[in-house]
Amino acid sequence: MAQSIREETAKRLLGGLSRPCVSISGSTDLESLPDSYPWLLTSSLVVKPDVLLKRRGKSGLVKLNVKWNEARDWLAQAIGKELTIEGLSGELSHFIVEEFFPHDDATNEFYIAIRTLQEGDEILFSHRGGIHVGDVEQHARKLLVEINEDGDVPDIPFGSLFDDVKDALAQEALPRFVQSLYSRFCDLHFAFLEINPFCFDAATSSFVILDAAAKLDHTADFICEDKWGHVEFPSPFGRKFTDAERYIRELDSKTGASLKLTILNPKGRIWTMIAGGGASVVYSDTICDLGQAHELANYGEYSGAPTEVTTYEYAKTLLGLVTAEDTFRPEGKILLIGGGIANFTSVAATFTGIIRAIREMQQRIREYKVRIYVRRGGPNYQDGLKLMRELGAETGLPIKVYGPETYMTAIIPIALDEDKGISSGASTIQSSMRVSTWHEMRMEDVEHDDQFQTADISATTPKKRTFAEANGTAPASEKRRVLFTDKTRCFVWGLQERAVQEMMDFDHVCNRDKPSVAAIIYEFSVPHLRPFYFGTDEIFIPVVQTLKDATEKFPEVDTLINFASMRSADKVTRLAMDFPQVKTIAIIAEGVPERKTRELLVTARRRNITIIGPATVGGIKPGCFRIGNTGGMLENIMNSKLYRPGSVAFVTKSGGMLNEMNNILRIKADGCYEGVAIGGDRFPGTTMMDHLLRYEQDPGVKVMLLLGEVGGTIEYEVVRAIKEGTITKPLVAWCVGTCAPLFSTEVSFGHAGAWAGTDSEQAAAKNKALRDAGAYVPNSFQDLGEVIKDVYDTLIEKGLITRMVEPALPRVPMDYAWAKKLGLVRKPKGFVSTISDDRGEELVYAGWPISKVMQGNMGVGGVLSLLWFKRPLPDYCYRYLEMVLMLTADHGPAVCGAHNTIVTARAGKDLISSLISGLCTIGDRFGGACDQAACQFLKAYDDKQTPEEFVKSMASQKKLIMGIGHKIKSVHNPDMRVQLLKTFCKTNFSRPALIGFAEDVERVTTKKKDTLILNVDGLIGVSMVDMLFGCGAFSETEARDYISVGCINGLFVLGRSIGFIGHYLDQKRLKQGLYRHDVDDIAYVLPDLSTSHH
């Protein structure tokens, strides 16, 4: 998306083509600034605001030919000043200071602009520049520079571009300057650059840039991050971002979803929270069409499957604005939570976040008399709408809920009509706008739904043109390739299991013989087969690592669905175009740099390859083929009758509106024949005209539908085609974004291409041009379905369309996950977990949110208590557990566990393998005696044995006493670990009874041998028993259960793992080679077979 930058930023990026300049803001120290920029003291200067403000000179805001002292004093007064210019009020927050260049403004001021177009970069040059430049569209010379597909900057064929320049030296120098300028334009991914004026410096035979305005394609930031440096994308003058807008922009930058918020009128009554880039514009249009532009408070949009948490933050921010102080309206406010029918965004998941925000703010919502109207469709919409309805019943808030059975924008006039005369500009709801409060539906309801077959639809019909024969063909034009049939198969780039399964389900209901997905290409996995369902049958789709493998295995496949990310989508597409069999490529990713896209298009045109996208959900041909998630879940496929072709083919930019169009066509006509979303970027791989020409030649298409939008000029190609007779079939058309001119500030709509650079790119201008050419153009989106029905009914009357008989449909088994959501099945759990939960907003340990764990400074001991014992313990228990871990972390490299770890590490094995080899040695003989020691000592204590009786009993059973004895340590050489732990326990434990008993046992055993001491394993065992019984957090039964299941040994395992990992890292750091044991340390004892008799 193209975003404006400051003049200082533009000149900095142009490097040596521009003279030195410096940016000044309120934080700049004007007194010390010349220390960093000495030329400020030696040069005459120009000072001007750098706030994206046009006509600064005419407004008296430019200081020319001044010295630093004067400039400094003026800046000190001007910085931060609020003023109103041409109806816009804003702050002069930034200024640019640069060297003054004296020149003759009558003869030495030139104009140049470079802008990006679908077919190349257009250069506009005028020998007249400055404030008298006039209408450059009319008098500037224009030159189109074609894009090089290899990414190199092309040499500009200047031709007569500079013929109007009188100065011979300037004319001679201009090609070199403009070529350098264009190189920077391409290399730095500018989307627009205007320099007005620039002057010729005869002394140096170079040019001086005076004023500049520019936009960068911000999607190229991952390419140009180092070249750009720090770049700020400021708001236009008079459009200062509020705290809420800044927060949503920040939220948008941190998520893969799309979030937009522009506040238009903070005291307005009508607020919107709309899902989908196209739908959000349609809602704004409709509000304005109904005479409520002055009450529209915001433009808001969320899309791209935002998480529940993200949607909650968005909704909470918006509700804070709706109920902000000093915005109360006695008549109340309206909140529209709307959208089209989603393709893949879970309505229930996003609504859960919205519901949470509404519930938290319900009191404020009630105080501000906010009425909420909901309309949505798509995956899990039944659950989402049900939750919304339940929220209204629970809170008593006025919430009305509608589903896809209601026309998309119908909730707007519903809301306005319920104002009881307050909104006098609102029109009465027409009968054409299906209005039905949502009710819960099941799959069987959808399959047998005929409620719309006899819809009573009547409205004022717009002016018609004469019908062309619906089965006519385009005159003298090249034959267009049919993209999709019921035999089309594709490759899917990326492990998109959900999308592939949805394609399989679509294939099944369309009665395809073979699944449409031939193979999945996934670079990060070994080749294998992955299971999917094709109807009731489980089939296996091959997953391969390279496109070469896929094409060799399936030479008949001609389509690629590219799910690669924005960073690699162009590389994958270019790779695919090198395989001659690939003829159609859908690029799903949003945010592909515009220049990269246009380079791909050059190659695609040369090789006759069709590209759909980028930034698209794809397209669908009912009964034949669907691209990925297009059409949404199976329920929507069935509801919109996409399992068989209709008579109307359409093209749109919006993926969300594609589903809405399918829904409208199913109701107003006989359904969709083919629908393509070319993508919301400025430069789609194919234009609307490309697809309309295909539809024109397809005898199955009887009516064509175009849904365009504000921005770009591709709709004018359609206008020309109608006038020239290239398009003869009936065409219904509408361009959304008619609200844009009514806004007092520039609004960043949901699609990257939805901004008008000229008046002709406004939606209203396009609609008028299409209507004048003979297309069927409604008065608003509200009337679109009405016009479609009128055209369709006329073709029925003329016998050009025959009503079809619905085909029998195979029943598709419902996925378990979806059936469970609908409450149709139940299944016992595979296993149970009671210690942690990662499903909510944050990780939870035994009921404690991780934030609470961290804030409580529980430490590792606290985390261990929650995850092992499912409860918090006294602080001294945390310290005890951590002390055990520290004391058992290591006991040198000679013990068997560390030895094994070291040997394995030196054998070149990885950390996990080395750690496991050490852990496998832990048992009764090494480290694993903690549990048995605890059990033995506890049983003796429970049986009220004396220490002497306990020792004699174990001896009579010929059993060792676990936890007694050490190879090195003795009574005279005590183990310091034991001493430290014993002291801690006696100091902090309220009843260290078993420790005392173990000490008495030690006195008995050491009489026999001084090394039969209580060792660290034994002390851990008995002290852990004392902690469990004495801390007050466990019942006796619980304490005994934890002892019996092995939790005490777990402490040793956990602690010793620290040391084992340390030994592994130590050996790797020392780069130790393969270990081989010294033969002198081995006793070789083999049988002597030399004297044996055979």
Are 157 and 132 contacting, i.e. CB atoms less than 8 angstroms apart? no
> Which helix (H) or strand (E) is 47 found in, with range?
strand 45-49
Place of tokens 């019908």: 467
| 3-state DSSP assignment of residue 584 | strand
| Whole-angstrom distance, CA of residue 653 vs CA of residue 684 | 9
And the tokens for 162? 């500079």
Q: Which residues fall within 8 angstroms of residue 956, CB to CB, at 6 or more apart?
A: none
C-beta contacts of 25-28 below 8 A and 24+ residues apart:
25/79, 25/93, 25/94, 25/95, 26/79, 26/80, 26/93
> Which helix (H) or strand (E) is 661 found in, with range?
helix 655-668
Helix axes 1016-1030, 1036-1044, angle to 10 degrees: 150
Place of tokens 């915005």: 327
| 3-state DSSP assignment of residue 70 | helix
Are 139 and 125 contacting, i.e. CB atoms less than 8 angstroms apart? no
Are 335 and 322 contacting, i.e. CB atoms less than 8 angstroms apart? yes
| Whole-angstrom distance, CA of residue 20 vs CA of residue 34 | 13
Query: What is Dmax (Cα atoms) for the chain?
Result: 123
Per-residue CA distances from 705 to 732, 769, 776, 778 (Å)? 5, 16, 9, 12
Per-residue CA distances from 253 to 224, 259, 260, 321, 509 (Å)? 17, 9, 11, 21, 39
Q: Is 967 exposed, middle or buried (0-12, 13-18, 19+ CB in 10 A)?
A: exposed
Residue 475 sits at the vertex; the CA angle it makes with 767 and 691, to the nearest 5 degrees, is 50
User: If you ran DSSP here, which 8-state letter would residue 709 be given?
Assistant: E
Number of residues assigned to the chain:
1094
- Cα distance between the two ends of the chain: 91
And the tokens for 1011? 């090394």
And the tokens for 594? 């515009």
Closest CA to 865 of 286, 856, 1057: 856
Closest CA to 430 of 780, 196, 76: 780
| Whole-angstrom distance, CA of residue 781 vs CA of residue 1082 | 90
**C-alpha 222: how far from its chain's center?**
16
Are 804 and 478 contacting, i.e. CB atoms less than 8 angstroms apart? no
Q: Which amino acid is at 808?
A: A
And the tokens for 553? 């295995």
DSSP β-bridge partners for residue 375:
402
Q: Which residues carry out catalysis?
A: 751
